[in-house]
């Protein structure tokens, strides 16, 4: 039986030469990075970095606030109309939260109007052919450029109601006056305003 072949001597030479060289290179690299301190930020750079962090935090806070508002509206809708399908109630709550925020309208006021108009039934039809959650009429749809065949769309119907309520509020100076203009009569306005008190004060 032949003895195993002995590895050439030059392999040992390469191993004992390369390994220490690599170790030295790595050590020099590490020391060079440790010995060079980072350049300090200027005051303006520190302010800019802090501002970015605050802005990012505010975005997260706003997102959480919108989520909590939507969930509160959803629970209220389900309490008023328990027969409503969950996904429809969730879509309605999203439309109410989003449209009230876009048009700078109190979400409680918008929610109470929709409750009074339709009990949150998205396909409700009034005696004079008003449509949807906000019981939008032909005249209302024409005022905001809403196609009549889109009046049952949840988001467009709710945003139409929000837009008109905000217009009337700015024009006539108060929520009560806006409600009288939206559907006429002090009795209607009183009912809606009373229902706003049943909603969480955190909604705005």
Whether 191 contacts 116, CB under 8 Å: yes
Write the Ramachandran bin of 184: left for phi over 0, alpha for psi from -120 to 50, otherwise beta.
left
Tokens representing residue 64 in the block: 């959480």
Residue with tokens 């879509």: 91
Encode burial over 95-114: b for 16+ CB neighbours within 10 A, e otherwise: bbbbbbbebebbbbbbbbbb
Whether 70 contacts 91, CB under 8 Å: no
- The pLDDT score that the predictor gives to residue 41 is 76
**Distance separating alpha carbons of residues 8 and 33, to the nearest angstrom:** 39
- The pLDDT score that the predictor gives to residue 164 is 97
| Of the candidates 105, 61, 97, 60, the residue with the CA atom closest to the CA atom of residue 76 | 97
Condensed to tens digits (0 to 9), the pLDDT of residues 47-81 reads 888 888 888 888 888 788 888 899 999 999 999 99
Whether 110 contacts 154, CB under 8 Å: no
Residue 24 pLDDT > 60, yes or no?
A: yes
Q: Which residue has the higher pLDDT, 32 or 10?
A: 32
Structure pTM? Answer: 0.75
Condensed to tens digits (0 to 9), the pLDDT of residues 28-49 reads 665 665 555 667 878 887 788 8
Q: Where are the domains of the chain?
A: 58-120+160-196
Tell me the CA distances in angstroms from 140 to 57, 93, 155, 158, one per residue in order. 40, 22, 15, 12
């Amino acid at each position: 039986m032949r003895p195993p072949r002995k590895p050439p001597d030059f392999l040992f030479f390469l191993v004992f030469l390369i390994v220490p060289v690599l170790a030295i290179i790595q050590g020099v690299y590490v020391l060079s990075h440790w010995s060079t301190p980072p350049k300090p930020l200027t005051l303006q750079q520190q302010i800019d970095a802090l501002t970015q962090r605050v802005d990012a935090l505010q975005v997260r806070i706003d997102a959480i606030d919108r989520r909590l508002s939507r969930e509160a509206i959803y629970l209220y809708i389900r309490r008023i109309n328990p027969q409503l399908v969950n996904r429809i109630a969730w879509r309605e709550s999203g439309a109410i939260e989003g449209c009230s925020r876009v048009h700078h309208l109190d979400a409680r006021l918008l929610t109470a109007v929709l409750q009074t108009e339709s009990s949150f039934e998205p396909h409700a039809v009034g005696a004079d052919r008003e449509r949807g959650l906000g019981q939008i009429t032909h005249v209302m749809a024409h005022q905001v450029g809403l196609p009549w065949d889109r009046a049952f769309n949840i988001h467009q119907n709710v945003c139409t109601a929000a837009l008109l309520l905000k217009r009337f509020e700015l024009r006539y100076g108060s929520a009560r006056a806006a409600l009288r203009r939206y559907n006429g009569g002090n009795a209607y306005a009183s009912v809606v305003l009373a229902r706003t008190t049943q909603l969480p004060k955190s909604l705005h």
